[in-house]
Structure 1
Amino acid sequence: MARQHIQPTQQERLMRDDEFIVSKADLKGRITYSNQVFAEFSGFTEAEFLGKQHNLVRHPDMPRCVFKLLWQHIESGQEIFAYVKNLCKDGSFYWVLANVTPSRDAQGKVVGYYSVRRKPNPKALAVIIPLYKQLLQTEQNAGAKEAIETSLTQMHNLLQEKGVSYERFILDLQGL
């Protein structure tokens, strides 16, 4: 089933406190491995997601700038934490706190990415959801060509006002 044919619903699925969604992707973001929890939450079978872009589960409510930040970090060899709203095959959604880390070979060369997702702190989502709505609106108002840069600027301004890095902002929210 192609992602673009999924009609998002308002039905939320909640992760349990003791579970983790794990997946691996190649340098292009194609899924090369996942655990059973990924299949359970996404609703896709292994045959439907292996070899497919990880954005198969990208929810349309996610601002593009968040993924721009994510790719900037991991392509430069850094890990990143991010709150992500994912789309399920049936149109429902689930929130995660994702930790994405570059995978390296014996020589230290990045050969792919490893992601572990867990249940996000509901108090953090109370901050993230309205922020993501603002960023998404900024992207829509800016138009396709300027969307990401405009919302990235908005995010950087927020972080500068708070006097924190992106990483500190995300981790502080999880600790609320």
Structure 2
Amino acid sequence: MAKDVIVTGVERFFEEDEIIVSKTDLKGRITYCNDVFLRIAGYTEKECLGQPHSVIRHPEMPRCIFDLLWEHIQDGREIFAYVMNRCKNGDHYWVQAHVTPSRDRSSTIVGYHSNRRVPDRHVLENTIMPLYAELLAEERQHGNRKSGLQASKQRVDDMLAERGMPYDEFIACL
């Protein structure tokens, strides 16, 4: 996996009837990825398995969204989120992700499962992209990453409080 974070600004697309699927262990290391994942992200299965799922994390994704995602799934809840992922060559692609905990027969969380579909372009361009740009700007204006993360999380909390709804409801209403 490439260690340098390269971004090209080129967006890739996948078909409406395709689903990107991946599974991870409890630490977020990839244990499964389907052919659509591999084709869009530009990796081989050998390159992906055992690697942190964050290998496809795009540097222009607000950290607070991933923090919120991890909060939900580690607490045993599912979450829907719009995410911009980075391809191996630096291109990017947008998804609407549905991430759920995977459980064993005794209901213990043993990993995580994510299905990603083509996002609603209108919602993406008119709501998500402007929101994420604002959150990312907030994160970057602070002296350290932790302060930036806390400030952007507060912006999300304030926005949700203003709308009088939890994150899940906000995403469902878009």
Identify the range of structure 1 (118-127 vs 140-149) with the bigger mean alpha-carbon deviation.
Answer: 140-149
User: Residue 82 of structure 1 corresponds to which residue in structure 2?
Assistant: 81
SS at 1:133 equivalent: helix
Whether 2:112 is the aligned partner of 1:137: answer no
How far apart are the structure 2 equivalents of 1:89 and 1:108?
Answer: 35
User: Residue 156 of structure 1 corresponds to which residue in structure 2?
Assistant: 157
How far apart are the structure 2 equivalents of 1:68 and 1:168?
Answer: 18
Q: Where in structure 2 are the equivalents of 1:85-164 lying within 5 Å?
A: 85-126=84-125, 127-142=127-142, 143-164=144-165
Aligned partners of 1:6 and 1:89 also within 8 Å:
no
Letter in 1 for 2:96: L
RMSD value, Cα: 0.9
User: Residue 173 of structure 2 corresponds to which residue in structure 1?
Assistant: 172
SS at 2:112 equivalent: strand
Number of equivalences: 172
Letter in 2 for 1:166: Y
Aligned partners of 2:6 and 2:90 also within 8 Å:
yes
How far apart are the structure 2 equivalents of 1:106 and 1:94?
Answer: 35
How far apart are the structure 2 equivalents of 1:67 and 1:6?
Answer: 18
How far apart are the structure 2 equivalents of 1:55 and 1:161?
Answer: 31
Identify the range of structure 1 (5-14 vs 149-158) with the bigger mean alpha-carbon deviation.
Answer: 5-14
Q: Give a deviation string over 1:70-108, Cα, whole Å, max 9, x none.
A: 000000000001100000011110000000000000001
How far apart are the structure 1 equivalents of 2:146 and 2:155?
Answer: 16
Q: Give a deviation string over 1:12-66, Cα, whole Å, max 9, x none.
A: 1112110100010000000000110000010010111100000000000100000
How far apart are the structure 2 equivalents of 1:162 and 1:153?
Answer: 14
4+ long deviations beyond 3 Å: none
TM-score scaled to structure 2, two decimals?
0.96
User: Residue 13 of structure 2 corresponds to which residue in structure 1?
Assistant: 14
Q: Where in structure 2 are the equivalents of 1:26-105 lying within 5 Å?
A: 26-105=25-104
Identical residues among aligned pairs (%): 51
Letter in 1 for 2:8: T
Q: Give a deviation string over 1:92-137, Cα, whole Å, max 9, x none.
A: 1000000000000000100000100000000111210111011011
Aligned partners of 1:6 and 1:90 also within 8 Å:
no
CA offset at residue 171 of structure 1?
A: 1.6
CA offset at residue 161 of structure 1?
A: 1.1
TM-score scaled to structure 1, two decimals?
0.95
